[in-house]
Amino acid sequence: MFLNFLKKFLLKRKLKKALSLDSDGYSVDKIRTVGLLIDETYFAKKEDLIRALEDNGVEREHIEVLLYHDKDKKRDANFPSLSLKSVSWSGSIEKEDVVQFKATKFDLLISYYDIEKAPLLLVTQRSKASFKVGFSTIDKRLNHLLIQTTAEDHAIFIQELFKYLKILNKI
């Protein structure tokens, strides 16, 4: 228990240092591919969220999902997953699914979590996505667009997301 607390503390400290040095811009390209990073500990309606993205014009084969679990027991075999055990003490992630997710150049990364957890923050920060969207309760330096709602209100989140993507001329 104490070691997990210490590991999370060290990972967040390392992340904050990396964020202070990071100054990447975002792309003005149209959105075709979407990466979806979900904390399934607090949000289990991932299929509803994917369906809402499809209803707004994103094709299912262009959506990739990565799930985070606090415990390794509750895994969905249909989607790749991540947990605190997947992250080393130095902040590196060796799990092949997660490495591939981070390396994929998504047009849009949706960080669908509203509570800061070190593994989720690391994946968001190290993602090669050209435009990142998340909740306003998360560190402001991680995402290009912040939406103020809760994770339980996925319909409102998607509605606001596509409203601003239209304003930004990304869809």
Residues of the domain holding 12: 2-22+34-167
Query: Cα-flanking dihedrals φ and ψ of residue 134, to 5°?
Result: -155, -170
Answer whether residue 12 is part of any domain: yes
Give 77-135 pLDDT, tens digit per residue.
678 888 888 887 777 788 888 889 888 999 999 999 988 888 888 888 888 888 999 99
Answer whether residue 7 is part of any domain: yes
Answer whether residue 54 is part of any domain: yes
Please count the structural domains in the chain: 1
Answer whether residue 8 is part of any domain: yes
Q: What is the CATH number of the domain that holds 122?
A: 3.40.50
| pLDDT at residue 19 greater than cutoff 60 | no
Model confidence at 22, pLDDT cuts 50, 70, 90, reads low
Mean residue pLDDT of the chain comes to: 83
Give the closest residue to 139 by CA, choosing from 12, 11, 10, 39: 12
Model confidence at 43, pLDDT cuts 50, 70, 90, reads confident
Model confidence at 36, pLDDT cuts 50, 70, 90, reads very high
Question: Six-digit token pair at 60?
Answer: 């299912």
